[in-house]
Structure 1
């Protein structure tokens, strides 16, 4: 399960459901000797033009069984990436929270004639990589393989058996359940997880997005092999999948691979679209937790992923709190007052209306006033909109980072999966950048005001109840500049 804890790859701005999960640090590699590198060139040399990026020849068709296929030939490397995206996330759990995740986790635990060890050794021996993961909207299964016929065909044969003929062995199910139950115990000590689960429950009520994607300690033990088989037959059907292919393949070979994959899956149609969530009641919930820091999460219902306002909301949020340093929230909360290590905001576009979320943690004795400050910043931004300079800077940053969204075959296959899953046009990537660059201050202000209401926030705080202190006055050099991720 190499992608079990990985962030979902997808369209630019497709954030995970809890923005706190984005706080990761990669260890830099050390060089034994200095390496000569080309001189850096100024962005000014672009004269306002976006940096070059890969032009994608996206081809699309449907298999005989109804699977949608998106394909981009990329002959530069002798390999290919295959990604299957099913409408088989936890929103399809029904009365068994955790069912989608368990089904996905069990796919590569056994097929006729092979156990989990033999499957892993089979992929490894071919130089291939298998990945899987389950989220609220979707479940993903992926394969990376060399494109040489002997490696490709053997890897595809094993892959199609895994996705089409899982045996769901009882011993593997017991082991994974025990791992999940142990993780539930650990999560009780994680204030960020407690806050996230409570927030989604309040935000979505009786909607399928409300419960945790991994289920809970009551639901998971009751899920048996028959439930997994039934869910696989329904949710992993050929009519319920988007097949994305990128790599050293021509069209005829891509069609043959897609047909092989589609035929291996259970026969069946796409699952019905999710219902629209009801607007929640605004308010604040506090969860007592023994820590020096208090987690603050503020949210309201956002948008569906194919909403036409997405480019304007993406750009507007980059200015508010989605772009790291230099955003309104970071400037006012961290840089001027030293109240937090980081504060972030984001829209998560989903099949149904995903959340708009602001998340941070701060010293417990400053939590209530910090919450008030964040609410004021949001209200002021919605009322006044961005400045022209903020808009220009955000456009320039977006233009500079956008080529990274198609920098590798893995990036491209993730883009294709999201385009197909959320039923976006094949020209989405080009359209997005053109729309972003055409936005005015008035456009962004109007879009943000259409979708956000500072009086409609659902708020969850997790931390200790302590006497509150006033906030320090804003300054260019705060007295206590946070230097690292705070300890709980």
Structure 2
């Protein structure tokens, strides 16, 4: 094995294993899982920042910048760039979320040199042609307006604004119709300049590539980027327990977004909380909320919730939609189940089922190179060591009902469960 790579064996019992290698070259580090059965290579990478670095009044700058990276680069205008990707079956994309800026690449092994060339061009020589800028702007404005046409879209925007007032996370990550319409090209270039840097990079690679081959391409792909890291993101304040708010929307149904503060990714109770939420709200028809809301009372077609990770903090967030006349009862039942889990925790049977699912389904996250790369990137973003997966089944199986009850009592607070209702709910 190349001296540029060090292996870390990670897996679970029953024969599942995932050998992660750490490859370093040119000041850049990557996690690698070699997988040579299919001639495909996938890369996923990210920087901290994203929409959180958009200046006030320029919401959507990072999102527009990400979309424009594949709209022509270097000598290739948008159509020629798209043709080059298509001709070699290359998948290249960029996106900006609330707390990060990500890139991804997937190609056949034989097309990897061309894929790397196009990805490097996109990051170092984006054209930002006027026609492309206006086309992407028009698409963004249309999407922003479309999102506000539905109760769910209005509820989502209002939820984040109320949960984190005054913080960039509380603003629409993809911008508003107004901010996008007023966004000058200089703001897009500034977003790229502060985001695409050689340092502060997290990178995961999976597929038909060896450690020495990866070590050779790291400086080729990322070396031309400007030195330094993206600016520091503003610290995320605590979740604002804003109670219950109604956003009037003329609709026969209301959309409800509910949530509360969760835990930091490094908190020792992170995995027990995942099991608690699997039982309470994330287990489909097996969850308590689905049983109480849909099966017992027929209040809604579905209800679910889980952890959304921002700045390595887990925010508990859930959603349900129902007739306006049933919103009040649906919320009452949801808070009741929230409180019941906080008071007594799960049953032994619920614990066994949840752990069996979480351990048994783990290999499904590694069925192709793209999913492997995305999972490895997510581990790095949450500060996990490479051997974290290896111990996960054992850690989950060691959890007892008493431990989960303690975590549920510590975290779940029905009185602090905040809710946005977009629609014309009755009785609230």
TM-score, structure 2 length as denominator?
A: 0.92
Paired residues of 1:239 and 1:267 also in contact (CA < 8 A): yes
Tell me the equivalent position of 1:38.
Answer: none
In the TM superposition, what are the counterparts of 1:352-431 in structure 2 within 5 Å? 352-431=312-391
Q: How much has 1:271 moved relative to structure 2? A: 3.5
Tell me the equivalent position of 1:71.
Answer: 32
**1:231 has 2:191 as partner:** yes
Q: In the aligned structure 2, how far is the partner of 1:184 from the partner of 1:330?
A: 31
Tell me the equivalent position of 2:6.
Answer: none
RMSD after superposition: 1.8
CA deviation vs aligned residue, 1:370-415 (integer Å, no higher than 9, x gap): 2111111101111110011110111111122111011211111001
Task: Report the secondary structure of 2:177's partner residue.
Answer: coil
Q: How much has 1:209 moved relative to structure 2? A: 1.0
Q: Of residues 51, 54, 68 in structure 2, which corresponds to 1:106? A: 68
Tell me the equivalent position of 1:117.
Answer: 79
Q: In the aligned structure 2, how far is the partner of 1:303 from the partner of 1:349?
A: 9
Equivalenced residue count is 416
Task: Report the secondary structure of 1:162's partner residue.
Answer: helix
Q: Of residues 247, 251, 266 in structure 2, which corresponds to 1:291? A: 251
TM-score, structure 1 length as denominator?
A: 0.81
Q: Where does structure 1 lack aligned partners over 5 or more consecutive residues?
A: 1-48, 469-488
Tell me the equivalent position of 1:335.
Answer: 295
**1:145 has 2:142 as partner:** no
Paired residues of 1:68 and 1:420 also in contact (CA < 8 A): no
Task: Report the secondary structure of 1:243's partner residue.
Answer: strand
Q: How much has 1:465 moved relative to structure 2? A: 4.2
Q: How much has 1:243 moved relative to structure 2? A: 1.9
Q: How much has 1:216 moved relative to structure 2? A: 0.7
Q: How much has 1:328 moved relative to structure 2? A: 0.6
Q: Where does structure 2 lack aligned partners over 5 or more consecutive residues?
A: 1-11
Paired residues of 1:161 and 1:264 also in contact (CA < 8 A): no
Q: In the aligned structure 1, how far is the partner of 2:316 from the partner of 2:352?
A: 23
Tell me the equivalent position of 1:41.
Answer: none
1:442–1:163 CA distance, 2 compared to 1 (3 A):
same
Q: How much has 1:192 moved relative to structure 2? A: 0.3
Q: In the aligned structure 2, how far is the partner of 1:342 from the partner of 1:331?
A: 10
1:245–1:467 CA distance, 2 compared to 1 (3 A):
closer
Paired residues of 2:290 and 2:302 also in contact (CA < 8 A): yes
Paired residues of 2:254 and 2:323 also in contact (CA < 8 A): yes
Tell me the equivalent position of 2:141.
Answer: 181
Paired residues of 2:236 and 2:311 also in contact (CA < 8 A): no
Q: How much has 1:62 moved relative to structure 2? A: 4.2
Paired residues of 1:90 and 1:98 also in contact (CA < 8 A): yes
Paired residues of 1:106 and 1:173 also in contact (CA < 8 A): yes
Point out 4+ residue stretches in structure 1 off by more than 4 angstroms.
Answer: 49-52
Q: Of residues 30, 52, 62 in structure 2, which corresponds to 1:91? A: 52
In the TM superposition, what are the counterparts of 1:315-354 in structure 2 within 5 Å? 315-354=275-314
Q: How much has 1:270 moved relative to structure 2? A: 4.7
Task: Report the secondary structure of 2:263's partner residue.
Answer: coil
